[in-house]
Amino acid sequence: MKTLLESRLSATLLFVFCAFTTHAQRNGANFDCPACLKEVHFGGSKGNNYITIYDDLTDAKILPPQYVSDCESGGGGVKTNLLLMSVGVSPK
């Protein structure tokens, strides 16, 4: 059975690994990351206004993490800019 310290070290290593593999995920590699930023967007509700990015060479959608759009407030019932995010979601 792991001690608490061992568990913490294990988690730390996993998160550091994630930081180094972000670019692999951007390029669509098969990647199961424990802490990747999947979606960040502002000024709207979850999932409706992040931008889909395409790869220059393949035209393929670049898998999460996605990039953000700064939506105008006041134009669609949007009252506040929100930052939404998720971690731990594998790209599909």
Partner 1 sequence: MKGTATVVFNNGSSSTFQFPAQKCKKNGNKYTYDYKDADAAFALNNVAHIPEFTIKWDIKYEETGTWSYLADSKVPMYVTHKEPVLLTRPEHREPTKVYLTLLDIGCRNANGSSSEQLIVDQIFVKFESRDIRRVDGVGPIKYWGDPAVGGTAPACWQPSQMLKTLDGVCGGWAPFFENVLCIQGITSSKIVIPNWDFKLTNTQLNALMADFEAYFGQGSWNPAFPVTTDDVSAGPVAYFYIENWALSANVKFVVNDILNVVNGNPLWEPLTDMGIIPIAEGNGVSGQGNSDPRSEFSDHGFVEYNSRVYDPSYGESFESRDEWEASAVAGMGAILSLTLQDDSGNNRMLFINWVSVIEDSNIPGELKFD
Q: How far is the CB of 36 from partner 1 (least distance, A)?
A: 7
3-class DSSP assignment, residue 35: coil
Angstrom distance (rounded) from CA 67 to CA 69: 7
Q: Which of 18, 31, 63, 91 binds partner 1 (CB under 8 A)?
A: 18
Question: Can the peptide bond before residue 34 be classed as cis, meaning omega within 30 degrees of 0?
Answer: no
60 lies in the binding site for partner 1 (CB under 8 A): no
> If residue 80 lies in a helix (H) or strand (E), which one and from where to where?
none
Give the interface with partner 1 as residue ranges (CB under 8 A): 4, 7-8, 10-12, 14-16, 18-19, 22, 26, 32, 34-37, 39-40, 42-43, 46, 49, 51-57, 59, 62, 65, 67-73, 80-89
